[in-house]
Amino acid sequence: MGLDTPSMDYGQSKDFKTHQLLLGMNKPGFENVANLDKLPSKGIYVVALPMKVGRGSGGPLRIIATTSNL
């Protein structure tokens, strides 16, 4: 799931329920992503390359999406 907001959960969330549900189903969630409106809702191939962050629970990504078969 990709979204153009800073978090999948409400900003004051203490339990981060959306994170728990989505990531618990082994589905990735990408936050603060630009140009999502330019992608179709399905049929895309996504490559997301995270920056290694020591002791972090997340990190910045370089995300590439294409509609062609690779």
- Strand 61-66 relative to strand 45-50: parallel, antiparallel, unpaired? antiparallel
CA 26, CA 46: separation in Å to the nearest integer? 15
CA 53, CA 49: separation in Å to the nearest integer? 12
Each residue of 9-53: pLDDT tens digit?
988 999 999 999 998 999 989 999 999 998 888 888 899 998 888
SS3 state of residue 22: helix
Question: What is the reported pTM?
Answer: 0.71
What is the pLDDT at residue 20?
94
Secondary structure element (H or E) that encloses residue 64, with its range: strand 61-66
CA 17, CA 8: separation in Å to the nearest integer? 9
